[in-house]
Amino acid sequence: MTTLSLRALNRALMDRQFLLRRTDRTPLEVIRHLVAVQAQEPNWAYVGLWSRIHAFTQSQLTALPADRQVVRSALLRSTQHLAAADDFRRLRPLLQPVLDRTAGSPHFSRNGTGPDPASLVAEGLELLAGGTLSRKELARRPAERHPGRDGRNLAGELELRTPLVHGVATGAWGSWGNRSGVSVTPAEAWLGQPMAATATAAKELIRRYLAAFGPAGVKDVQAWCGLTRLAEVVAEMRAELRRYSGPDGGELLDLADAELPDPETPAPVRLLPAFDNALLGHADRTRVISDEDRKRVMPGQARVRPTILVDGRVRGTWSLDAGTLWLTPFRPLRAADRAALEQEAERLLPFVGGGDVSYGDPATARS
């Protein structure tokens, strides 16, 4: 069995994530290839596509939800993602147990008992009546029916337990961190088609994961999507998968026809958004970030800072503050890497509406 080095795994990931070279594929094709794009904060998905697609513009993505080709909803790991409409119809039923598990966590029941899951879904769909409501209104009405329960928790649980998609304006460019305007619609009403559960959905998910994140182990797939017991599914697929040994001796799997780039292929500087797929696609993330730096990029369970990639690995963070794009390398960069980083930052500036590039931490600069 061939053993793959950490660098070989890094270059495979960079290649499959369109981070070795930008692609000419359309935004819809890239979203499909990546299976789904993390979109907890709407603007970050735009930056992620900018880092991967030649001449990408905000309007190219904004048009997709408006045309109902892409939806924004809870999906992988119970978090908000952009997914092609047909993919969402197939994958949401497969991932529903993950979302149900999250909905049943203590977070949603901490203010006392409420309706059972089936009753909550029935009540919510009755309120929506196939139409659209703001999250605020979706929280207010159930709270009136169930005194003592936090309406926001009820609305949040409803979004997890039944497929609701966010309104077009929710995912539009320009709302940095603004979640107050979120509206939701039943997915089947919005798309005009039912959810499409299939018996082969888990195998399809694994194949597509490997195409975008492989080679990888079973634990990596599970960490990425939230499902468990996928080893049983992989066991049925072994005849169609190629096996490798990882740097630690663990088994890695890949598509039989997937090519691996030369580990010495240069990897250009890239600026990745917060919550980028490339950082969240594996249980073992050392192919792209060291354990030491991971603590700085992911200081809490719900935080993943925007990152700087140098030679395919995370070497710092960046942020946008009052029109300034701040670069914060974790350690000194070589002159050539520093120049490449500044060039990439200057290219990003007009896209994000910034006016200047600076080094340091904006919080420190203000103090």
Q: What is the structure's pLDDT at 142?
A: 82
Question: Rounded to two decimals, what is the model's pTM?
Answer: 0.94
If pLDDT is split at 50, 70 and 90, which confidence band does 152 have? confident
List CB contacts of 293: < 8 A, sequence separation 6 or more. 314, 315, 330
pLDDT tens-digit map of 271-326: 999 999 999 999 999 999 999 999 999 987 678 999 999 999 999 999 999 899 99
User: What's the one-letter identity of residue 130?
Assistant: G
| Span 259-268, average pLDDT | 98
pLDDT tens-digit map of 55-110: 999 999 999 999 999 999 999 999 999 999 999 999 999 999 999 999 998 877 66
If pLDDT is split at 50, 70 and 90, which confidence band does 5 have? very high
Q: What is the structure's pLDDT at 106?
A: 84
Dist. CA 274–CA 251, nearest whole Å: 30
**With 80 as the cut, is the pLDDT of residue 180 above it?**
no
Q: Which residue has the tokens 């369109």?
A: 18
Nearest to 330 by CA among 364, 296, 288: 296
Q: What is the structure's pLDDT at 55?
A: 96
Higher pLDDT, 147 or 32: 32
| Span 255-272, average pLDDT | 98
| Span 327-338, average pLDDT | 98
Domain boundaries, the chain: 36-191, 289-366
**With 70 as the cut, is the pLDDT of residue 250 above it?**
yes
If pLDDT is split at 50, 70 and 90, which confidence band does 270 have? very high
Tell me, letter by letter, the H, E, C secondary structure of the chain.
CCECCHHHHHHHHHHHCCCCCCECCCHHHHHHHCCCEECCCHHHHHHHHHCCECCCCHHHHHHHHHCCCEEEEECHHHCEEEEEHHHHHHHHHHHHHHHHHHHCCHHHHCCCCCCCHHHHHHHHHHHHCCCCEEHHHHHHHHHHHCCCCCHHHHHHHHHHHCCEEECHHHHCCCCCCCCCCCEEEEHHHHHCCCCCCCCCHHHHHHHHHHHHHCCECHHHHHHHHCCCCHHHHHHHHHHHEEEEECCCCCEEEEECCCCCCCCCCCCCCEEECCCCHHHHCCCCCCCCCCHHHHHHHCCCCCCCCCEEEECCEEEEEEEEECCEEEEEECCCCCHHHHHHHHHHHHHHHHHHCCCEEEECCHHHHHC
